[in-house]
Structure 1
Amino acid sequence: MTDRLDATFAALADPTRRRILAMLLEDDMAVTDVADPFEMSLAAISKHLMVLTAAGLISQEKRGRVKWCKLEPDALREATVWMQGFGLFEPVNLDDFERFLESEFVFGREGGED
């Protein structure tokens, strides 16, 4: 369990990866579409996607020649349960989490973070 939690929190620690998660809340996306709004190489985006995939936060599948990314919303369940154990956090509502990610996405885009 500890390794999965470490991977989850490490993945969420990066603003680029949080922005990618916010984008994937809307729909599955091709890797090239994920990379489009970022001012970084496709290789750099691919590394971020590998971290998110390794943490189980997203999945990737090849459809024809195109690799697609899909959000795995249940992946945060274990981290949520762990945080609730401290009694400091309310249960994570996926709608609230979506709003949080959207606010991070908007802040990152307007604030110049990439």
Structure 2
Amino acid sequence: MSESVQMRDVFEAIADPTRRRLIRLLAESEEMPLHELTPQFQMGRTAVSKHLTILKGAGLVQDRKVGRETRFRLNAAPLREVQDWLSFYNQFWSTNLLRLNQLLEEEEE
């Protein structure tokens, strides 16, 4: 991918439930061709291919040609951005729930 082409946002890519399901399917296998992925959804091959293109644009999916077939595999590295973002809020809620618990204990005394 050339540097002039901007990568698609990982959060935008995982916002769609179909794409999250594609990520899950690819995480459960080493790689899968489109013809094995398509029956997992109630949509046509072209629609699944478009979702894969969005995931590929975010760097979440890689593909390779094997003869006439394209096989897809997950590249989970960009999900680190999501993990980092979530870990901040995990700490935020843990701290606030601890404070609430302390407050409730103080009121009981």
For residue 88 of structure 1, what is the amino acid of its counterpart?
Y
User: For 1:77 and 1:29, how far apart are their aligned partners in 2?
Assistant: 23
CA apart distance, 1:81: 2.9
C-alpha distance 37-83 of structure 1, shift in aligned 2 (>3 A): closer
For residue 58 of structure 1, what is the amino acid of its counterpart?
V
TM-score, normalised via structure 2 length: 0.69
User: For 1:55 and 1:89, how far apart are their aligned partners in 2?
Assistant: 24
- Could you tell me the percent identity over the aligned residues? 36
Matched, 1:66 2:105: no
Give me the CA root mean square deviation.
1.8
Give the count of matched residue pairs. 85
CA apart distance, 1:32: 1.1
Task: Name which structure has the greater RCO, CA cutoff 8 Å, separation 6+.
Answer: 1
**Structure 1: tracts of 5 or more residues without a match:** 91-114
Larger radius of gyration between Structure 1 and Structure 2: 2
User: For 1:15 and 1:82, how far apart are their aligned partners in 2?
Assistant: 19
Structure 1 runs (4+) deviating above 6 angstroms are none
**Structure 2: tracts of 5 or more residues without a match:** 1-5, 92-109
CA apart distance, 1:39: 1.4
TM-score, normalised via structure 1 length: 0.66
The aligned runs of 1:79-94 (5 Å cut-off) are: 79-84=82-87, 87-89=88-90
User: For 2:60 and 2:68, how far apart are their aligned partners in 1?
Assistant: 23
